[in-house]
């Protein structure tokens, strides 16, 4: 009798596919899905879809993760408005909206599910606080004096006051001696 994987009951007990199912399950847990039965169901479905698309030479884990990304992309595309957001940007915005809307905790059984979505879920995903920032406006701001010239001006002013010059040299010597362990011994 062949032992079946805990996370992927529909797949055969192949070590690579079991590892892919566990990786998918871990990724789903990272998105704060808490129900182990829902995680196992999603992992089994995603690994099953990845297995149904034969791609010779591609690691089963990579195929499963690509399939999961494609499923998440399609789910986010249904929920998030805007044709201007596509590809990787849609996945990023969707993951942020998922976390900010607390979707896995509020609607644990709906993540990656087909069919009608509750209006509260759609509103939580769309109203996630992500707004475009203000336009960047470049302004011309030339420096008043080069840094080197400013340092030279300050050094010349330092030489005008002999007391400050002596105090500065003494402070530098004290800090140097503290760092090296004392004044030089002759």
Tens place of pLDDT for every residue, the chain, 186 residues?
234 445 544 444 478 888 999 999 999 888 888 888 888 998 999 999 998 887 777 888 899 999 998 888 888 888 887 666 677 888 888 888 888 888 888 887 888 888 788 888 888 787 766 666 677 777 766 655 555 566 666 666 666 777 777 888 888 888 888 887 776 765
Encoded tokens for 137: 């406006």
Contacts of 79 (CB under 8 A, 6+ apart): 94, 97, 117, 121, 122, 125, 126
pLDDT at 186 (0 to 100)? 58
Encoded tokens for 92: 């990023």
pTM value is 0.60
Q: CB of 94 within 8 A of CB of 72?
A: yes
Backbone angles phi, psi at 31, to 5 degrees: -90, 15
Tell me the three state secondary structure of residue 61: helix
Q: Name the nearest CA neighbour of 72 among 17, 112, 114.
A: 112
CA–CA distance, 24 with 120 (Å, rounded to integer): 27
pLDDT at 84 (0 to 100)? 62
Q: CB of 44 within 8 A of CB of 21?
A: yes
């Amino acid at each position: 009798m062949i032992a079946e994987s805990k996370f992927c009951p529909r797949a055969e007990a192949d070590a690579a596919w079991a590892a892919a199912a566990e990786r998918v399950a871990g990724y789903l847990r990272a998105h704060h899905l808490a129900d182990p039965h829902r995680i196992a169901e999603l992992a089994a479905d995603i690994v099953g879809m990845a297995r149904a698309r034969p791609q010779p030479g591609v690691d089963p884990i990579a195929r499963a993760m690509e399939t999961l990304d494609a499923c998440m992309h399609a789910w986010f595309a249904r929920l998030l408005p805007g044709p201007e957001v596509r590809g990787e940007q849609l996945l990023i915005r969707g993951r942020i909206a998922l976390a900010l809307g607390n979707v896995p905790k509020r609607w644990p059984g709906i993540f990656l599910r087909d069919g009608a979505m509750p209006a509260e879920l759609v509103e939580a995903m769309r109203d996630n606080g992500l707004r475009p920032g203000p336009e960047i406006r470049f302004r011309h701001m030339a420096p008043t004096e080069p840094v080197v010239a400013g340092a030279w001006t300050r050094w010349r002013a330092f030489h005008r006051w002999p007391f400050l010059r002596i105090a500065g040299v003494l402070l530098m010597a004290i800090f140097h001696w503290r760092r090296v362990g004392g004044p030089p011994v002759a």
